[in-house]
A and B are shown apart, each in its own frame.
Chain A
Amino acid sequence: MFNFSVKSHKNNYCSFLIIIFLASIFSSPVRAQQYDFNYFESEVFPQKYIYDITRDSQGLLYFATENGLVKFDGLLFESVTKNEGLAENLVNKIYIDTDNNIWIGHYQKGISLITKNKIKKTFTGNIKNTRITSFVEDDKHNILVSTDYNGVFLVDTNLNVTQIYNDNSYKINALFTLENKLLIGTSNGLIVVNKFNEAESADAIHHFFNDTNIISFINDTIRNNLWVITANNGINKCNIISNNIDFNNYQSFVTNLQLSSACIGPDNNIWLGSKGKGLFTVYIKENQLDKLIHYGIQNGLKIKYVKSLFFDLENNLWIGSYGNGISQYLHQEYSLFGKNYFNSEIEITAIATSNNNVYAATKSLIYFIDSTLTVKKIPVQIKNKITSLYIHDNTLWIGTIKGVFKLTQNLKINKIDFFQNDYINSIKGNEKDKLYFATNNGLVIYNNNKFVRKTTNEGMLHNSIKALLPESKSKLWVGTMQSPLFLVKNGQFSNSYPIQNINDIYINDLVKDSFGNIWLATYGYGIFKLGKNSSQQFTTENGLPSNYCYAIYIDKNNKVWSGYQSGISYKKQKDENFNSLQYDQQFLSSKINLQTIKGTKNGNIFFGTEKGLIIYQPNKIKNIETDLKPEIISLKVNSNPINLSISTTLSYSKNYIFSIDFRVINFTNQKSILYKYRLKNYENLWHLANYNERSVNYSGLKPGTYTFQLLASNNNEFDNHNLAYYTFTIKPPLWKTNWFIISLITLITFILILIIRIREKNLATNQIRLEEQLKIRTNELLIHKNLIELKNQELTDSIQYAQKIQDAILHKNRISDFFPNSFIYFKPRDIVSGDFYWAAQIDNEIIIAAVDCTGHGVPGALMSIIGLTFLNEIIKIQKITDPKTILTLLDKKTIEILSFKGERLSKDGMDIALINYNMKTKKLIFSGANSPMVLIRDNKINRIKGTLLGIGDSFIKKFNNNELNILKGDKIYIYSDGYKDQFGFIADKKLKNSGFMKILIKASTHKMNEQGHFLSEEFIKWRGKNEQTDDVLVIGIEF
């Protein structure tokens, strides 16, 4: 209990402790530690008799109860009873073999076997009407079954049952196999059957432990022992040497206990359930009983009759009782010393530690807790409320709301007068010689048996000193209620340190970590961490349950512990933020009092709360797997379950409703679990779900492949490595299937090809028919062509003959007869022309006309004959030489000849430019009917217009004469509009008057008899590849 092998200066502590101990053993009784057990309400778990407990490979727990087999995943209990096919509701024993088959031993109806969640078979026969008491699996995967009084049976891998041991003298309770040995634990000792699995040579040869009621065996692989657990002779340790068990030399422990169950714990200690006395833990050290801990009504366990014990994968202990249901022992690392221990005053107001011992004060009492957590009350009572404790130099210093007391080695209480009625907030000391007192009236330093007070008068920043942190022999950090943190050196104020520009921080507690950072617990500002050159603040945004922090402590792993009104928060070194303790134990939410978090050398941490003293023992932390493994437990399609071991493909339907259930098997803190899930290919976003929202439905899914993905977390961090998923496919409808589409395409293609072929065939047939028709038509056309060509030739011959006639007529009108310097550029468009020229002399008057009849070709030629005829009649016969009169008469006659009874039969006519030159007078008279005359004199061109109307127009018109005196060298041109109306090949427009004038001017520079040729060349150049538009006639005369 006490550590005597300590350093010299600590021997004083030990002496002090011994005296305290000796004094206190005659005072109040020793109060043991309280333990926290979790019980399940009868509404949640109604079964009261728990005959056996086990788990499967995933960690799911199974309870054998009077009402069937109950499965538990940490949140929900699920029963399997006779209704689901069990042979009987009363289940006495459960075993899960290496293939995860569940063997259920009943009270009287034999065995039920569950394989892959279905009840595969029930065994009765010889095994009926006898209670199944034990299962064990041998190395060949046979299952051995023991019954009450009906011997031992072997069920092989083909589920054939044979009896291998038959002796009903004693009740058989337990079985164990070691290679080819079968150990049978009976109500009267141990029977060893060698070579049990060789039927012909099996024989029971040895009896051991006579007169003892053996209830179970525990294979202690760590110590290489076999524990033989008895009901009435304790637990017996037998050594296993080379697969042989030495039953002749064994050690017995706790022989005084009436036992009913046993198991080996994760700490390799033996846990024992008793009949009527609750639970025990046996600590064996070097073959000696080191410690025996009793858990009973007096320290938290309500169960007296323990029927079954089991540790789950998280190392929680499950206690099955006989008549009191199930209990769970978890979080052994946290326990509460409460009212069963501290009597009426349970609020812990101050704590001091010394090595592995603790002093805890309630308001007026002080308790000593040793390293075994045994508590003794120190037989002193302080009148004033105790606020702080500190051990220094053989003395326990007690700070109160009114002064300071000393408790000396001889248990004498002395009040320190110096303090009078000072309110003491904290007492701290350095290792050597100084003590510091934080009071509401300044800082008091105790050194060399003298007290010295330092207030604002002596330079302190504030009188209300709340927290102290001695740093070295001479340095002390001081926290007050309304000033910055400041440093006192050698008893004098040295420096102040505003924190993040906050000058009036209310500091409740101060502590330093191994890196030299100072941590402040403040009232209203959370926690500060001050480094050499930096500071960091932690508030509720960093996970603190509140910004009002009352106590702070840093353990040897640099884990920061802090206390609040709502409990405890911690931050591991690598964590960025703080975490609150989120366990089910309610006492962990107790209010933590000012500066009441302290630790001992062995790593235990003590928290002073309103409900007592909370103790944290890290050596009791289980090595649990922290990975949460989410599991999809069922998927139902329209309420029909699906086999999750293989992917599923469903036929097309719009009406599927998918119901998915999932879970995480966790027994430590199910309520902190968060789920994250989604159905990939249906949604991208993840959904969050609380611990009790473990199912989801989907409906209306379109054809496709979907994967349900599931993650779980208990600290808001989801580990993608533990993704659970299941993939299923909904087939598309027939018309959307590939084969259907391909078939359809193929069919369509085939049809198209067929259609095309048919069309082609039809086309070919048509082609042939058409070709034949074409041949026929072509032949017909050829015949017609020949006819047409014949006719055409006849017509052409006629026209050519007509041309000859026209030429002959025109030949008689040669202008050159009258004017040697003249030319006639005459180019008919067709064979015969609508343009013509006329010339005659009457006495001294030469009359020349350039006439453009409407149309060209044959119609124009016919009109030209009319014109020629009338000109001959008017001029040559009627001897009329006045141009305007000639035109008038010509017009009249043309109209008359083209009319019948006053109605014009044809609107044809002619444009005419007519000149009369009097050789004697040298005067020229021009009259034009829609046709001008051009005079070029001295290279200047003068265009004289005629009447705008032509001969034969139906309007009444009046022609006029234009007289001019002709000079030698004058050149006059009369012409039809054929030349100027010609479309140019390049310009793609008519030459027009302007263009024609330019050519005339150019032509006029040539000799008159060359101008015709010039005009011809120019016309051809202008015309290019275009067709000739009209008949062309240009007459040029030089005088």
Chain B
Amino acid sequence: MINRFLIYNLFFSFIFSVFFYGKINGQPVPSLEENIDFLVTFSRDASATWGDDDHIQIHFLAIPKDYKGNVFISIFDPDIGGKYDQLNGSKFDSFTKFSLYGGEGAYSNEDARNINPKGNYNSGIQLGSKKFGVSTIYDDQWFTFGPINPKEGEFDKALNAYVFKIIAEGLKGNDGNMYRYYISSSDLEFNPIEGMNCFTYEMSFRLKNIKNTVAHFYPFLDSNIIAIKQHNYDYDSEGQIRLTTVIKKSHQMSRSGDGNWATSTHEITPDEQNTTIDIQIISSGKFPNDMVFYLTNQYGKFVPFYSVPIGGVPKYRYKVDIIYAF
């Protein structure tokens, strides 16, 4: 049965995607692969049940060491108000601050990689900061930090990249700010920075409001991980949360309800070590749903997930040989 509403939404999503992604070769965060339209940060007076447990969102941008050009970090619709943001109350009255950090400690500091914003999470050298309140200036527009010298990031040997940290912090108010990032090498057009990746340890996001659309998270499991524990918050039991790896297909993960956490632990076999796994969160499409997700390993350490899956999207390896006869 043809669902007109679905078609309508698909069509506009397509248009939306084309508008935002078609001509855009930049690197959006969240990425196309993640299939998440917006990151969300609620101002600190908002209840956590709105889908943001801590009113802070931290993302890391890894710029390859060999990259010599400029870095521009654009924020789509950073101000409060407009058609995307979540009104809480009778009118918009909130503020969000976006801050960019580089330098030593921006990434390597333990507090920065904690999902809870405490301690020295804003470590490093602040390269820029901008507070947005209620305005229409940036509705459907971008605010850009840059140009940024890649060497102002913190060099991480393991990543072989200069890492920047961007913190979105809800300040006064209770509205929800919907936004996304774009990383580009140019201020005039969105040119991708080859080899660049973005990762976070906890994401507050809005699921696409289309039934059965799948949001993905792509954590990379190193060789030390033998088990993972997923944590999701305020999923409202919408649909399914599944795990797919190279040897697991659509394993079910626990789902949270409204304003609570759900966790589930999953064993990781050697075959799955050093691979990217795919955690899929299916939307029911009933209402705009904001939620939080993060992942820990067997030691309780936070596992980052990447906008660009390392090694690509995992492909489940069937155990039975399939021969296609044409």
B147 CB–A CB distance under 8 Å: yes
A496 CB–B CB distance under 8 Å: no
- Whether the Cβ atoms of B104 and A66 lie closer than 8 Å is no
CA distance A276 to B188 in the complex (A): 10
A149 with B126, Cβ < 8 A, contacts A322-B70, A323-B69, A323-B149 known: yes
B170 CB–A CB distance under 8 Å: no
B81 CB–A CB distance under 8 Å: no
- Whether the Cβ atoms of B151 and A323 lie closer than 8 Å is no
- In B35-72, the 8 Å CB interface with A consists of 68-70
- Whether the Cβ atoms of A108 and B147 lie closer than 8 Å is no
- Whether the Cβ atoms of B152 and A90 lie closer than 8 Å is yes
Q: Which residues of A contact B68 (CB under 8 A)?
A: 48
Q: How far is the CB of A77 from chain B (nearest CB, A)?
A: 18
A180 CB–B CB distance under 8 Å: no
- In B133-156, the 8 Å CB interface with A consists of 147, 149, 151-152
Which listed residue, A89, A107, A323, touches B103 by the CB 8 Å rule? A107
- Whether the Cβ atoms of B125 and A66 lie closer than 8 Å is no
A926 CB–B CB distance under 8 Å: no
CA distance A322 to B151 in the complex (A): 12
- Whether the Cβ atoms of A66 and B149 lie closer than 8 Å is yes
Interface secondary structure of A, over-half rule: loop
CA distance A66 to B69 in the complex (A): 13
B105 CB–A CB distance under 8 Å: yes
A506 CB–B CB distance under 8 Å: no
- In A82-132, the 8 Å CB interface with B consists of 89-90, 107-108, 129-131
- Whether the Cβ atoms of B126 and A108 lie closer than 8 Å is no
CA distance A130 to B102 in the complex (A): 11
CA distance A311 to B104 in the complex (A): 34
Q: How far is the CB of A476 from chain B (nearest CB, A)?
A: 59
- Whether the Cβ atoms of A108 and B104 lie closer than 8 Å is yes
Q: Which residues of B contact A89 (CB under 8 A)?
A: 151
A55 CB–B CB distance under 8 Å: no
Q: Which residues of A contact B126 (CB under 8 A)?
A: 148-149, 171
A49 with B125, Cβ < 8 A, contacts A322-B70, A323-B69 known: no
Q: Which residues of A contact B111 (CB under 8 A)?
A: none
CA distance A304 to B187 in the complex (A): 10
- Whether the Cβ atoms of A129 and B149 lie closer than 8 Å is no
Q: Which residues of B contact A276 (CB under 8 A)?
A: 187
- In A30-59, the 8 Å CB interface with B consists of 48-49
Interface size class on chain A is: 10 to 19
- Whether the Cβ atoms of B147 and A322 lie closer than 8 Å is yes
- Whether the Cβ atoms of B125 and A131 lie closer than 8 Å is yes
A305 CB–B CB distance under 8 Å: yes
CA distance A84 to B320 in the complex (A): 63
- Whether the Cβ atoms of B70 and A323 lie closer than 8 Å is yes
Q: Which residues of A contact B69 (CB under 8 A)?
A: 323
- Whether the Cβ atoms of B151 and A90 lie closer than 8 Å is yes
CA distance A357 to B70 in the complex (A): 44
- Whether the Cβ atoms of A130 and B187 lie closer than 8 Å is no
A305 with B147, Cβ < 8 A, contacts A107-B103, A322-B70 known: yes
A323 nearest in chain B by CB position: B70
Q: Which residues of A contact B147 (CB under 8 A)?
A: 305, 322-323
A109 nearest in chain B by CB position: B104
- In A289-341, the 8 Å CB interface with B consists of 304-305, 322-323
Q: Which residues of B contact A148 (CB under 8 A)?
A: 125-126
Q: Which residues of B contact A48 (CB under 8 A)?
A: 68, 149
Q: How far is the CB of A322 from chain B (nearest CB, A)?
A: 5
- Whether the Cβ atoms of A108 and B125 lie closer than 8 Å is yes
- Whether the Cβ atoms of B151 and A66 lie closer than 8 Å is yes
CA distance A108 to B129 in the complex (A): 18
CA distance A89 to B70 in the complex (A): 18
Interface size class on chain B is: 10 to 19
Which listed residue, A49, A108, A149, A171, touches B149 by the CB 8 Å rule? A49
Identify the interface centre among B69, B104, B129: most chain A CB within 10 Å of its CB.
B104
Fill in one digit per residue for B104-129: 1 if any A CB lies within 8 Å of its CB, else 0.
11000000000000000000011001
Q: How far is the CB of A167 from chain B (nearest CB, A)?
A: 15
CA distance A639 to B151 in the complex (A): 35
CA distance A323 to B103 in the complex (A): 18
B70 nearest in chain A by CB position: A323
Q: Which residues of A contact B104 (CB under 8 A)?
A: 108, 129
- Whether the Cβ atoms of A108 and B103 lie closer than 8 Å is yes
B72 nearest in chain A by CB position: A323
Q: Which residues of B contact A305 (CB under 8 A)?
A: 147
Q: Which residues of A contact B129 (CB under 8 A)?
A: 171
Q: How far is the CB of B121 from chain A (nearest CB, A)?
A: 15
B104 nearest in chain A by CB position: A108
CA distance A323 to B70 in the complex (A): 6
Q: How far is the CB of A1 from chain B (nearest CB, A)?
A: 34
Identify the interface centre among A89, A107, A323: most chain B CB within 10 Å of its CB.
A323
Fill in one digit per residue for A738-754: 1 if any B CB lies within 8 Å of its CB, else 0.
00000000000000000
Which listed residue, A130, A304, A322, A323, touches B125 by the CB 8 Å rule? A130
Q: Which residues of A contact B187 (CB under 8 A)?
A: 276, 304
Q: How far is the CB of A808 from chain B (nearest CB, A)?
A: 151
Q: Which residues of A contact B125 (CB under 8 A)?
A: 107-108, 129-131, 148
CA distance A323 to B151 in the complex (A): 11
CA distance A90 to B152 in the complex (A): 8
Identify the interface centre among A107, A130, A171, A304: most chain B CB within 10 Å of its CB.
A107
Fill in one digit per residue for A447-477: 1 if any B CB lies within 8 Å of its CB, else 0.
0000000000000000000000000000000
Q: Which residues of A contact B149 (CB under 8 A)?
A: 48-49, 66, 90, 322-323
CA distance A323 to B187 in the complex (A): 12
B69 nearest in chain A by CB position: A323
Q: How far is the CB of A671 from chain B (nearest CB, A)?
A: 29
CA distance A305 to B147 in the complex (A): 8
Q: Which residues of A contact B151 (CB under 8 A)?
A: 49, 66, 89-90
Q: Which residues of B contact A304 (CB under 8 A)?
A: 187
CA distance A565 to B104 in the complex (A): 59
- In A143-188, the 8 Å CB interface with B consists of 148-149, 171
CA distance A108 to B101 in the complex (A): 12
A66 nearest in chain B by CB position: B151
CA distance A48 to B152 in the complex (A): 13
Q: How far is the CB of A149 from chain B (nearest CB, A)?
A: 7
CA distance A243 to B151 in the complex (A): 42
Q: Which residues of B contact A131 (CB under 8 A)?
A: 103, 125
B128 nearest in chain A by CB position: A171
A276 nearest in chain B by CB position: B187
- Whether the Cβ atoms of B105 and A129 lie closer than 8 Å is yes
Fill in one digit per residue for B155-171: 1 if any A CB lies within 8 Å of its CB, else 0.
00000000000000000
Q: How far is the CB of A139 from chain B (nearest CB, A)?
A: 32
Q: How far is the CB of B55 from chain A (nearest CB, A)?
A: 21
CA distance A48 to B68 in the complex (A): 9
A171 nearest in chain B by CB position: B126
- In A543-598, the 8 Å CB interface with B consists of none
Q: Which residues of B contact A149 (CB under 8 A)?
A: 126
CA distance A66 to B162 in the complex (A): 13
CA distance A100 to B103 in the complex (A): 30
- Whether the Cβ atoms of B152 and A107 lie closer than 8 Å is yes
Q: Which residues of B contact A49 (CB under 8 A)?
A: 149, 151
B123 nearest in chain A by CB position: A129
Q: Which residues of A contact B103 (CB under 8 A)?
A: 107-108, 129, 131
Query: What are 28 pairs between A and B in contact, CB < 8 Å?
Result: A48-B68, A49-B151, A66-B149, A89-B151, A90-B149, A90-B151, A90-B152, A108-B103, A108-B104, A129-B103, A129-B104, A129-B125, A130-B125, A131-B103, A131-B125, A148-B125, A149-B126, A171-B126, A171-B129, A276-B187, A304-B187, A305-B147, A322-B70, A322-B149, A323-B69, A323-B70, A323-B147, A323-B149
Besides A90-B151, A171-B129, A322-B70, 17 more A-B contacts (Cβ < 8 Å) are A48-B68, A89-B151, A90-B149, A107-B103, A107-B152, A108-B103, A108-B104, A108-B125, A131-B103, A148-B126, A171-B126, A276-B187, A304-B187, A305-B147, A322-B147, A322-B149, A323-B70
Top 8 A-B residue pairs of the complex, sorted by shortest distance between their CB atoms: A323-B70, A49-B149, A108-B103, A323-B147, A66-B151, A322-B147, A131-B125, A66-B149
